[in-house]
Amino acid sequence: MRVLLLALVLAGCAGGGETAPPGADFGPDPQLTAPHSQLIPTVKVAPAVGWRQGAAPTPAPGLKVQVYASGLNHPRQLYLLPSGDVLVAETAQPPSPAPKGLKAWFEAHFMKKAGANVPSPNRITLLRDADGDGTAETRSVLLEGLNSPYGMALVGQTLYVADTDALLAFPYRPGDTRITAPARKVADLSAVQPNYHWTKNLVAGPDGALYVAGGSNSNVGEKGMEIEADRALIQKIDPATGAREVYASGLRNPVGMAWEPQTGALWVAVNERDEIGDSVPPDYMTAVKAGGFYGWPYSYWGGHVDKRAKPPRPDLVATAVTPDYALGAHTASLGLAFADANVAGLPPTYTGGAFVGQHGSWNRSVPAGYKVIFIPFRGGRPAGGPQDVLTGFLDAKGRAQGRPVGVALDRTGALLVADDVGNTVWRVSAAAPTRP
């Protein structure tokens, strides 16, 4: 018991090594501090407390925020249907065996404190704002009995859902509020224990394929590479046959995916590895190169070698693609959505760029993330620093009132944000013009 208590104290106070200046771990050329060996990982959790009555996150100047839907159960991912209805995946990590070892126990304990490791609702809920006032006045359970669902994509009259262990297909008719037909399994997805990064995201491609992202089964391959088969990659899957190929690999935890509207390129937001410092390596977003290898577990940010990965693979490191844009270390950048030039629900400032939902750090001495940011684009490429869109998820005591995850644009072009601690979907739009 004394050893355990000592470890808890050390974990709460562990330093994160050299720290980059604020903002230096963002952009196309981030400042990478030297990796810092940590016997015990830094743990600084923002306890999840939820929003008090009437409270809300803080929008940037020129914006307003309202409740689109509240009283949800761990909403994580959003998807806009052609009708304007919004699907929300209410989901969480599936059950797993009790953690083995002190380090694993630590992580499970603090993740629960942060609002994770809760029972998964295992459903997809449909939200409908029929009168266009920015609040969903009706909701219905479209699908239930799923297995930690996350990604959703509608192609014609088929709704595809990425559970943690399978890509599923369901018949869908416009206007449906409930689907009772059994699923057709398109393909199995790896859920080998401990199923460390359990989310499987999904986008439909213009080529008719489905692109499915899944994260690694460990931090840096420390559990052996055998359990990493079909992990840390984006797969391209034929929806008719289930045939698959690796589209890109070496992506530790690719979550948010979206097509950039000007170039048609697939972009992904990736959570990088832990336990080598507060400022290294940064999470990132990047245009995905077909066949590209992005380093995990052998290197990060291109060719920066991670000496913890055994045995080393200099042959793979030599091919590692450097990402396009750093999103800050340990920000847990999970949501990604693009605004094109036709966005009417937001000011012109927010056209031609990417919105990123940053869930927030749990393993950094100074918290990072816990907000939604906007990265301006020009010519299909990032063209400026991050701009805060929605903040205030941490209260004055450093507690998490909410944590943003998935982001999507509604039919008016306003921004929707899933908040899995606040159990709310927020809607961010242009503020009403002020009278002179």
Question: Taking residues 63-82, what's their average pLDDT?
Answer: 98
Residue 106 lies inside a defined structural domain of this protein = yes
What local confidence, expressed as pLDDT, does residue 12 receive?
44
Output the six-digit token pair for 144: 């239930």
Using pLDDT thresholds of 50, 70 and 90, give the confidence band for residue 351.
Answer: confident
Statement: residue 359 has pLDDT above 50? yes
Strands in 253-259's sheet, in edge-to-edge order, are: 26-27, 325-329, 282-287, 266-271, 253-259
pLDDT of residue 9: 41
Determine what percent of the chain falls in helix, strand and coil, rounding each to the nearest 5: 10, 35, 55
Mean pLDDT of the chain: 92
Q: Is residue 151 part of a domain?
A: yes
Q: What is the pLDDT of residues 360-396, one digit of tens each?
A: 999 888 999 999 999 999 999 999 999 999 999 999 9
Q: Which one is predicted more confidently, 348 or 79?
A: 79
* Residue 410 domain flag: yes
How much is the pLDDT for 139?
97
Would you put residue 386 in left (φ > 0), alpha (ψ -120 to 50) or beta? beta
Q: If you average pLDDT over residues 215-232, what whole number do you get?
A: 97
Q: What is the reported pLDDT for 216?
A: 98
What sign for the dihedral angle of Cα 30, 211, 90, 109? negative
Q: For residue 267, give both structure tokens.
A: 């972009």
Q: What integer pLDDT is reported at residue 65 of this predicted model?
A: 98
pLDDT tens by residue, 399-411: 999 999 999 999 9
Q: Which of 40-54, 146-160, 315-329, 374-388 has the lowest mean pLDDT?
A: 40-54
Is 436 within a domain? no
CA distances from 299 to 113, 237, 312 (A): 31, 27, 9
Give residue 327's pLDDT: 98
Q: How many domains does the chain have?
A: 1
Query: 231: closest CA among 246, 216, 244?
Result: 216
2-11, 143-152, 362-371, 405-414, range with the lowest pLDDT: 2-11
Q: What is the pLDDT of residue 102?
A: 54
Give the CATH number for residue 330.
Answer: 2.120.10.30
**Residue 20 resides in a domain:** no
> What band does 13 get if pLDDT is binned at 50, 70 and 90?
very low
The answer to whether residue 278 sits within a structural domain is yes
d(CA 430, CA 62): 6
Q: How confident is the model at residue 16 (pLDDT cuts 50, 70, 90)?
A: low
Residue 130 scores a pLDDT above 90: yes
Residue 59 lies in a domain: yes
Structure tokens at 176: 């449906």
Confidence of residue 43 (pLDDT cuts 50, 70, 90): confident
Question: Percentage of residues in the chain with pLDDT exceeding 70?
Answer: 89
Q: Is the CB of residue 307 less than 8 Å from the CB of residue 297?
A: no
Of the pLDDT bands very low, low, confident and very high (cuts 50, 70, 90), residue 8 is: very low
129 burial level (CB within 10 Å; 0-12, 13-18, 19+): buried
236-279 pLDDT, tens digit per residue, is 999 999 999 999 999 999 999 999 999 999 999 999 999 999 99
Beta-strand ranges (E) seen in 206-278 are: 210-214, 233-237, 244-249, 253-259, 266-271
Q: Distance (Å, rounded) from C-alpha 357 to C-alpha 355? A: 7
**Greater confidence, 408 or 44?**
408
* Cα dihedral 227/292/377/384 (nearest 10): 80
Residue 113 scores a pLDDT above 70? no
Domain that holds residue 291: 2-15+35-430
First to last CA, the chain: 66
Instruction: For residue 29, tell me if it sits in a domain.
Output: no
Cα 416 from Cα 429, distance rounded (Å) = 9
